[in-house]
Amino acid sequence: MSATAFAVVFVALYVAHSVGDHWVQTSCQSADKGRPGWVGRLAGARHVATLTATKLALLLPVAALLGLNLSAVGLVAGIGVDAVTHWWADRRSTLAWLAKVTGKAEFYSLGTATHPAHPVTAKGGPAAHLGTGAYALDQSFHHLWLLVAALIIATV
């Protein structure tokens, strides 16, 4: 049962993460969560609160409909780990630091004007692109912790 529970929980959290991070998060939260001081911390906390609510709003009905018996302790621990790690990464300076100490600083800057090979138009201005290294590393970090959260929720 725990393998099935893990698979269901992970898929539900993954979908809810995408919805919460892209549709539910406000523009203000997105713009401010990386700012220094309390403005950034509180914007990050508001984002994580709505993201966590989104995850629970999707996970709990899915678990109930599929007859999963998830423990309250496992849910609190797993969702808590996910929330804390998400807030940490979304402070931006923290994830930039992690990229630097792991040798990923150049990839982190990919798609921005600070990258040595930033995309430009034929006239030399910044070119439109579909994402940045920072975004890719951010989402990858969140996905890793979604996996950990799903393991905790499914096994505790």
* pLDDT for 80: 98
Q: Going by C-beta distance under 8 Å and a sequence separation of 6 or more, which residues neighbour residue 4?
A: 68
What is the predicted pLDDT for the residue at 5?
A: 96
Distance CA 112, CA 59 (A): 35
Q: Nearest 5 degrees, angle CA 37-CA 115-CA 102?
A: 65
pLDDT of residue 86: 97
Residue 113: per-residue pLDDT:
64
What integer pLDDT is reported at residue 127 of this predicted model? 63
**What per-residue confidence (pLDDT) applies to 46?**
98
Element (H, E) at 76: helix 72-90
State how far the Cα of 51 lies from the Cα of 23, in Å rounded to an integer.
10
Torsions phi, psi for 152 (to 5 deg): -65, -50
pLDDT of residue 143: 98
User: Which two structure tokens, joined as six digits, stand for 40?
Assistant: 């950034």
The neighbour count for residue 81, using CB atoms within 10 Å, is 17
Tokens (6 digits) for 17: 């993460």
Beta strands in the chain (DSSP E): none
pLDDT tens per residue, the chain (156 residues)?
Answer: 689 999 999 999 999 999 999 999 999 999 999 999 999 999 999 999 999 999 999 999 999 999 999 999 999 999 999 999 999 999 999 999 999 999 998 888 877 666 666 666 667 676 666 678 889 999 999 999 999 999 999 999
Q: Model's pTM, two decimal places?
A: 0.87
